[in-house]
Chains A and B, each alone.
Chain A
Amino acid sequence: AQSVTQLGSHVSVSEGALVLLRCNYSSSVPPYLFWYVQYPNQGLQLLLKYTSAATLVKGINGFEAEFKKSETSFHLTKPSAHMSDAAEYFCAVTRSNFGNEKLTFGTGTRLTIIP
């Protein structure tokens, strides 16, 4: 079975500073990887996804993530944090080429932006 581990349940950064949210995955076959964001009292929305094309994936709101097979990582970054980035971020994995494989979410990282 596949799984993801998000290191750091809470991350605080200053406005304008680099955002780095860590995600490591485990999968016996090539994975599809996703980052979702959840703003307070809302559902999740997709930030970006990796589906075996380019290893550097650009998403919405200036976020990007790099798939590193050798490190089994898919860390999320943004060069300059904005107050509106404060939210809960979830990394998720599913196995490519499997018909009914579920999407498995990490435990989430709460991002706080310090003015």
Chain B
Amino acid sequence: DTAVSQTPKYLVTQMGNDKSIKCEQNLGHDTMYWYKQDSKKFLKIMFSYNNKELIINETVPNRFSPKSPDKAHLNLHINSLELGDSAVYFCASSPKITDTQYFGPGTRLTVL
């Protein structure tokens, strides 16, 4: 199926740990994104890559580091996890930044 996929779907971990979330799209899009959705459903962009180049980097703690090994993948690594990092993280992709974005199913991160 053509889609945006994320792994894992659920991630439960202790404070201070390091974790990664993986994202892959097989839609042939040039642009990929990471969003954070908090408990009140507020959705905020974190990063955007276009053709493996970082083009948007919002005010995000440098504990968060995205990596795009190729155009179809955008991973998110989080160091020294904190309670406030608990949220749902969505990956998305689009042909270009003003186009429709296609979202993955989300990764629910719970930090204990």
Seen from chain A, the residues whose Cβ lies within 8 Å of a Cβ on chain B are 32, 34, 36, 38, 41-46, 49, 51, 88, 90, 94, 96, 98-105, 107-108, 110
**Closest B-chain residue to A42, C-beta based?**
B105
A32 touches B98 (CB 8 A): yes
The yes or no answer to B43 lying at the interface (CB within 8 A) is: yes
A100 surroundings in chain B (CB, below 8 A): 48, 50, 55-56, 97
A46 touches B97 (CB 8 A): no
Within 8 A of A (CB), among B79-112: 90, 92, 97-98, 100-106
Within 8 A of A (CB), among B48-98: 48, 50, 55-56, 58, 90, 92, 97-98
A107 touches B41 (CB 8 A): yes
A49 touches B104 (CB 8 A): no
A49 touches B100 (CB 8 A): yes
B42 touches A102 (CB 8 A): no
Q: List 23 A-B contacts (CB under 8 A).
A: A32-B98, A34-B100, A41-B106, A42-B105, A43-B103, A43-B106, A44-B43, A44-B92, A45-B102, A45-B103, A51-B98, A94-B97, A100-B97, A101-B98, A102-B56, A102-B97, A103-B97, A104-B45, A105-B42, A105-B43, A105-B44, A107-B41, A108-B43
Task: Give min CB distance, A50 to chain B, whole Å.
Answer: 12
A44 surroundings in chain B (CB, below 8 A): 43, 90, 92, 101, 103
From B42, B103, B106, A108 is in contact (CB under 8 Å) with B42
Task: Give min CB distance, B110 to chain A, whole Å.
Answer: 14
**Closest B-chain residue to A110, C-beta based?**
B41
B44 surroundings in chain A (CB, below 8 A): 105
6 A-B pairs with the lowest CB-CB distances in the bound complex, closest first:
A43-B103, A44-B103, A105-B43, A100-B55, A108-B41, A46-B100
